[in-house]
Amino acid sequence: MRTTAAILLSLGLLVLATAPSATGPEDWENPALLHAGTEPPRAAFVPFPDAASALGLSPKESPRFLSLNGDWKFRWSPSPAARPLDFWDPAVDVEGWDEIPVPSNWMFHGYDIPIYVNSAYEFAPNPEPPFVPHDRNPVGSYRRAFAVPEAWEGLDVYLHFGAVKSFFYVWVNGMKAGFSKGSKTPAEWNITRFLRPGENVLAVEVYRWSDGSYLECQDFWRLAGIERDVCLYAAPPVRIRDFEARAGLDALYRDGKLAVTVELGGEAAAASSAHIVSMTLLDPAGKRAASARRAAAVLEDGRTIASFEATVPKVERWSAETPALYRLVLELRDPGGKVLEAVTARTGFRTSEVKNGQLLVNGAAVRLKGVNRHEHDPVTGHVISEDSMRLDIELMKRSNINAVRTCHYPDDPRWYELCDEYGLYLVDEANIESHGMGYGPASLAKDPAWGPAHLDRVRRMVERDKNHPSVIIWSLGNEGGDGVNFEEAYRWIKGRDPSRPVQYERAGLEEHTDIVCPMYASIEEMLATVAKTPNRPLIQCEYAHSMGNSTGNLQDYWDAIESHPQLQGGFIWDWVDQGFAAENERGEPYWAFGGDYGPADVPSDANFCCNGLVAPDRTPHPALDEVKKVYQYVDFAPLAPGSGEIEIRNRYDFISLERFDLLWELTAGGKALATGTLERPNAGPAVSVVVRIPLPEFQPEPGVEYFLNLSLRTREAWPGLPAGHVVASEQIALSPPPAQGAGTAPGPESAPRTLAVEAGPRFIRVAGDDFSVRFDRLTGSLDSFVHEGRELIASGVEPNFWRAPTDNDFGNQMPRRLALWRRASLHRELRSLEIRQSDPGEATVAVVYSIAGGQTQTLEYTIAGDGRIVLRSTLTLRPGAKLPELPRFGLKMAVPRACDRIRWFGRGPFESYGDRKTAAFVGLYDMTADEPFPYVSPQEYGNRTDTRWMAVRDGEGRGLLVSGDPVFEFSAHPYWPEDLTLERRGAKHPPEVPERGFVCLTLDAAQMGVGGDDSWGALVHPAYTLPAKDISFTLILRPLGPGDAPPS
């Protein structure tokens, strides 16, 4: 390190640090003051002593890198006035202070509370920018000691903070280095002049809220602290300050075009034109693809630059499907040829442009199968490990997700390196959202005084991330209104980096967005908008709001998207539930959400932070299977039923299907009849091919369903995907669907069985040789079904029209709109109960209820001598009755808790609903009634659609078989719908709902879809609702003994 100037400057700087602040606004309440003493923004890289070490070591192994992560001394103060005023002075003893890990959010170490709100300012119900509270603005005071390596003598030393929220001061050895705001991009200082031999003391003062918080009103947890890595790095007095590697393609998208600009920095940079910069490009195999050497030159603007251009013939192109990475090595030498420094980075050759109304990557009109991803860890908050990043990427890749929007700020730099490596397209979003100010005249987007702050955040993002091939689009921010500040930011980016499109949702159809990127547009709105904008693509920056049991209609969206060339995808909201790991007083785990941490006066938007396709610990929700199926790149269509001829359409943009094998399976009644493999289907990108599946000859059996299941699997592992991974699948029916009436047809003839009927004053009993059933005259319920001495019913059969509201249901006021059907499920009037017996071997019990203001609900049980019960449920409306749609139409009953083993033939294995079942194939599946509850808050779950039959049995094989006529829907778990019904969204966590002591069955003709256009008003699409009308359906109940097999 160079320390000569430090002693001379220390006295004056110490006085500066201890002097009272000048009259005027605080640094942390002044949008005109963004940073003090910081270095200009630059690309993310670490210097090395030479090219050999740059190629042989990881950045954190560089001899010129020193991590300052670890335990720091820490003092939390509730307000600026309460903070320790002189802790930065090395003479002040902080040994008695607590310790806190860096990086971390202090909320998870015993200080302060996390706050979740969506669009409001958590610190100001009546915002008055740039001012923030003085009486309740927590401050974190951090200190640690460090020693500079002796090998750094003669080098400049830089202090790097990856991200600090939201404002912070820095002192080194009692001397103020400066301050910075803007919580998701780095701040760096040259601290050489502050350093001394031996131990040095670093002090940091972090403010939870500042004027910068007015631009950070994002829909996520509002936390504070040093959130990303802190480190030192060393560089020579003349150094590589920054570089840009623009790796594009020629007009034919065949040869690589590389343009590298290296900017030198340091005190002597302007006079360093005699310094030499060498550039070497290594291909993915490590072979030299290009190299050059240049003397630096001083430009008119004072910068010292070395520029390179190179052509790479037949370059390996980077895309999300083919993430080919080249290695760039830059080496700086002094005029005498001595190596001073080297840096390295991976780069990928690709283009991203809007042409003829479409987004093109490498000349191909890609569709972005995207998700929005917040940085979230259920334990560490906004501090994200590389393991967590890799897990996210691998789950995404395995689910056919090819794009991520970094909502709503630049992510940790390592994320971009991994996306380069694995292959994910990124929309890189600036850390700007002033949602709480609205979109009208008060919007900060319209106030020129806030223009420098907007531009600073955009500039710092672009300069940091400019070298990543994964970044194909810049986003100016999110929900910050629109106005002059975004217009200026757009113009700046287009001048600085014309190689990428720029988007901004609030710009709408204005000219300062290259892509029309609405939020939550309906299918009809998408089609209407794209018709008005023939020169731009439409890619929804947010759609398919996946809060709780949601993500319905996704297939419908993509049917529309794939019907129009300018509709090029969208980004699902969002990837991960933002819940934190917590336990109740009984030690039961749950996911905490908004409102769980603070007193009643702390603002909260409850569980609105939990909209993920995966749980906080990355356990996939059932909807992720649907996303994978809808997003798959390959379509299958039968050309002639039963012929085995299948048309395969390859929707990949850059790869052939020769990377895969096609596995096929012929099933009969859910059981495999034949299997086989077709190796390497020969279909290039965007090409279709016809293949013939060698189906065996077979004689279809009456009443048996036949399906051909197809799965396309990787032959070898490739980034994010293991060998044998299924990337696309389809199920093709080879026989007609089951016909109504087939399930109620009599079975094989056997000796007649006589029924005994006992009609008492309270109960009606019907008994056969080995079973009996009982009806309660007071309720009309079938409340007992005894078979071979075992009771099969724990709670009687009742009509059911209600489902526990989902998060989407709360959003569209379903509990209020459809409350009539909840009352109908809980309260009904028994009109009549009659028994008829015209045959000794058959009896019919008819139960008639009055529900919902005089509508008629009839349950008719036809009991056969072998124990089979045909149950027909009919709803008949009064003439002229105008009622809202039904949440569901069906029955509920319970079986003993021991009957917890469920097998069914229908769609599975995961839950499915009318508008979310594309991925659920018809098959034979098993589960238990203890299936984990998948959502953070109680609501409807566990439904299975298109069920042919379902058996619930105990460990001995005794139980009940339910068959459809022809199909039905069911769920089986320890809760009644009423148990899971909340009075408001997010009112409870799952452990607060006690389990029943039996298995609750819902058996439905149908249930309405779950929806998913949004979670604050959108209704379930009409095709998936149940209009109130006369309706009926039939089930067949049959007891099962240990030796009884369900239908094949």
| Beta strands at 726-733 and 706-714: parallel, antiparallel or unpaired | antiparallel
Strands (E), 266-338: 276-282, 288-295, 297-298, 304-312, 326-333
For residue 1018, give the amino acid letter. A
Amino acid at the residue 823: R
> What does the block give as tokens for 1042?
């240990």
Indicate the residue type of 134.
H
Q: How far is CA 157 from CA 2, 188, 195, 222, 443, in A?
A: 8, 10, 9, 33, 41
**Tell me, what amino acid is at 316?**
E
542: annotated active-site residue: yes
- Nearest-angstrom CA–CA distance, 595 and 936: 14
- Give the separation between CA 742 and CA 966, rounded to whole angstroms: 7
Rounded to whole angstroms, how far apart are CA atoms 932 and 714? 30
Q: Please state whether the peptide bond connecting residue 84 to the residue before it is cis, i.e. omega within 30 degrees of 0.
A: no
Cβ atoms < 10 Å from Cβ of 683: 21
Main-chain phi, psi angles of 555, to 5 degrees: -65, -40
Task: Tell me, yes or no, if 562 is annotated catalytic.
Answer: no
Of 429, 479, 860, 911, the active-site residue reads 479
Compute CA distances 174 → 467, 943, 1028, whole Å: 37, 64, 75
CB 806 within 8 A of CB 982: no
Neighbours of 769 (CB within 10 A): 12
User: In which element (H, E) is residue 230 found?
Assistant: strand 230-235
Strand ordering across the sheet containing 567-572: 502-503, 471-475, 425-429, 403-405, 368-372, 567-572, 538-543
- Taking the CA atoms of the chain, what radius of gyration do you get in angstroms? 33
Query: 973 has which bridge partners?
Result: 1000
Alpha-carbon distance of 405 to 1012, in angstroms, equals: 19
Give φ, ψ of 261 to 5 degrees: -120, 120
Catalytic residue among 29, 417, 542, 626: 542
For residues 656 and 684, is the Cβ–Cβ distance under 8 A? yes
Buried b (16+ CB within 10 A) or exposed e, 824-842: bbeebeeeebebeeeeeeb
Helix (H, G, I), strand (E, B) or coil at 415: helix
Long-range contacts of the stretch 514-519 (C-beta < 8 A, 24+): 514/354, 515/354, 515/359, 515/473, 515/539, 517/475, 517/541, 519/543
- What amino acid positions are annotated as catalytic residues? 479, 542
